[in-house]
Amino acid sequence: MNKEIMLASGGTVHIADDSLCITYMRKRYSLSSSVIGGGFHPILYAVNQKLTSYCMTEKDLPGGSVASYLRLKLEEKGCDPAQ
């Protein structure tokens, strides 16, 4: 399923089988409780990525690591991983 929903706040929610991505035209602030990279940060998008296959180890992921896998997925969505 691929679907886009425009938000009254000026953002867009992109829904796919393997992810949920919220993009904004201007920076917003987000509070994340993530153990890695958590905190209060300015963002242009938020992504929840679903792993669609089983991997025995992190090295089995596309890109060979969690960071590389997520970077590849962000780039596929047209997002700048540095943001």
Specify the pTM: 0.74
Query: Which pLDDT does position 1 carry in this prediction?
Result: 76
pLDDT in tens, 29-78: 999 888 877 899 999 988 888 888 899 999 999 999 988 998 998 888 88
Long-range contacts from 46-55, C-beta under 8 angstroms, 24+ separation: 46/21, 46/22, 47/19, 47/20, 47/21, 47/22, 47/73, 47/74, 47/77, 47/79, 48/19, 48/20, 48/21, 49/18, 49/19, 49/73, 50/17, 50/18, 50/19, 52/17, 52/18
Under 8 Å between Cβ of 47 and 73: yes
In total, the chain counts a number of residues equal to: 83
Query: Which pLDDT does position 28 carry in this prediction?
Result: 92
